[in-house]
């Protein structure tokens, strides 16, 4: 799928970008180019140390910001595939710096779209978040706007052979700023701060997130928001899995935080199809394909009326034992209780 192609990853020095690079090099040894586009020269330097140029000549490093359309266009010359992972993601950071979040997450998305249209790119997949579903914080609202921009881009492509789609998933196990590494750091203090005892979240490994993007690249028609069928966990089970000996201190839900996350609302379900391993929310306005086109293309079926996909009402749950096994596999091979 990617052999002989040039792939650009915005925000390519983040957790997702690093795992995506590793996966491409493993599965597609004949990839033409992998362009890591990001603002952070230190993180780019660290990736260069892991993949020296004499051994991995297909890697390219572009210092750039998705806010800069001209630089984005320059980076996209002769690119076949764009994975858009760059974003301001911290909820509290976005609330305190709203304009900066909008410029990166919304204006940046539009710049990626225009660069892709200008440069003859064939496939674009943008990363979203469960916080974009019925958002209550600015980060989620900007990602919802970004999702709408990428879906709508299929309507303005004209005769260009290009497809834009989105992948949306929940908490990535072990990613920077997430609860698992936070609890592992706090374990030594003997007290774990819990926001609310009833809180739940969706759970996905970084590799499964990458696999989902690969699936979207290989199967998208354009305009879909792909959503994985993944388990939920209870925050108290995470605490028990990591540090059963620690005291639990309830500190209250933070501003802009939900008790349970959603990925498909009952209103979204009117435009949602079941692909088997994944769901896909279809664009509400499409001048390119009909709902039947999507159903036929994906060999899918519509979800039941009133369907709702929430971490609190999920039918699949992680156990304390399964969480410990996954932490050992995906976060810290030396983890032990």
Question: What are the φ and ψ backbone dihedral angles of 148, each rounded to 5 degrees?
Answer: -65, -40
Q: For the beta carbon of residue 306, count every other beta carbon within 10 angstroms.
A: 9
CA atoms within 13 A on the CB side of 94: 23
Mean pLDDT split into 10-residue runs, the chain, 337 residues: 96 94 96 97 96 96 98 97 96 94 98 98 97 96 98 96 96 83 91 94 94 97 97 96 94 90 96 97 94 97 96 96 93 84
Residues 37/227, Cβ–Cβ less than 8 Å: no
How far apart CA 191 and CA 121 sit, in angstroms, is 50
Token pair of 146, please?
A: 């970004």
List the catalytic residue out of 19, 131, 234, 258: 131
Token pair of 310, please?
A: 């929430």
Select from 52, 142, 156, 59 the least CA-distant residue to 106: 142
pLDDT at 333: 84
pLDDT at 311: 96
pLDDT at 337: 79
- DSSP E strands in the chain: the ranges are 6-10, 33-38, 59-63, 81-84, 123-127, 163-167, 171-172, 191-194, 200-204, 225-228, 232-234, 247-250, 262-264, 272-274, 278-281, 301-302, 309-310
Q: Domain-by-domain residue ranges, the chain? A: 6-170+203-229+262-309
How far apart CA 139 and CA 90 sit, in angstroms, is 7
What is the β-pairing status of strands 272-274 and 232-234? unpaired
Select from 150, 65, 147 the least CA-distant residue to 104: 65
Question: What would be the CATH architecture of the domain defined by 6-170+203-229+262-309?
Answer: 3-Layer(aba) Sandwich (3.40)
pTM of the model: 0.95
Token pair of 263, please?
A: 């990925």
Find all residues with CB under 8 Å of 235, minimum gap 6, and list them: 179, 194, 195, 196, 197, 199, 200, 201
How far apart CA 229 and CA 263 sit, in angstroms, is 10
Token pair of 188, please?
A: 């030594």
DSSP 314: -
Q: Which residues pair with 278 in a beta bridge?
A: 228
Q: Which residues pair with 227 in a beta bridge?
A: 279
How far apart CA 21 and CA 23 sit, in angstroms, is 5
Each residue of 231-258: b (16+ CB within 10 Å) or e? bbbbbbbbbbbbbeebeeeeeeeeebbb
pLDDT at 335: 85
In the annotation, is 131 catalytic?
yes
How far apart CA 74 and CA 82 sit, in angstroms, is 13
Sign for the pseudo-dihedral over CA of 281, 284, 285, 290: positive
């Amino acid at each position: 799928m990617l052999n002989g192609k040039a792939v650009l990853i915005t925000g390519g020095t983040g957790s997702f970008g690093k795992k995506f690079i590793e996966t491409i090099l493993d599965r597609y040894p004949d990839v033409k180019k992998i362009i890591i586009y990001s603002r952070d020269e230190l993180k780019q330097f660290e990736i260069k140390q892991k993949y020296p140029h004499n051994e991995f000549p297909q890697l390219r490093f572009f210092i750039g910001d998705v806010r800069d359309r001209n630089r984005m266009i320059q980076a996209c010359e002769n690119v076949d595939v764009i994975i858009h992972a760059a974003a301001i993601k911290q909820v509290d950071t976005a609330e305190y710096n709203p304009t900066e979040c909008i410029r990166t997450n919304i204006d940046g998305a539009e710049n990626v779209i225009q660069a892709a249209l200008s440069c003859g790119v064939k496939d674009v997949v943008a990363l979203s978040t469960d916080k974009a579903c019925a958002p209550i914080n600015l980060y989620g609202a900007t990602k919802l706007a970004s999702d709408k921009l990428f879906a709508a881009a299929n309507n303005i492509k004209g005769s260009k052979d290009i497809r834009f789609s989105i992948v949306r998933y929940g908490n990535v196990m072990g990613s920077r700023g997430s609860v698992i590494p936070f609890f592992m750091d706090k374990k030594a203090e003997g007290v774990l701060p819990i926001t609310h005892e009833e809180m739940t979240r969706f759970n996905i490994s970084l590799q499964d997130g990458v696999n989902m993007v690969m699936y979207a690249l290989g199967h998208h028609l354009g305009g879909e928001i792909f959503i994985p069928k993944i388990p939920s966990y209870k925050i108290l089970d995470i605490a028990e899995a990591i540090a059963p000996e620690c005291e639990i201190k309830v500190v209250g839900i933070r501003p802009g935080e939900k008790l349970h996350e959603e990925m498909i609302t009952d209103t979204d379900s009117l435009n949602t199809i079941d692909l088997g391993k994944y769901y896909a929310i279809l664009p509400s306005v499409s001048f390119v394909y009909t709902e039947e086109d999507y159903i036929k293309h994906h060999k899918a079926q519509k979800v039941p009326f009133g369907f709702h996909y929430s971490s609190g009402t999920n039918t699949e749950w992680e156990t304390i034992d399964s969480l410990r096994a996954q932490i050992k596999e995906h976060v810290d091979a030396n983890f032990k209780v």
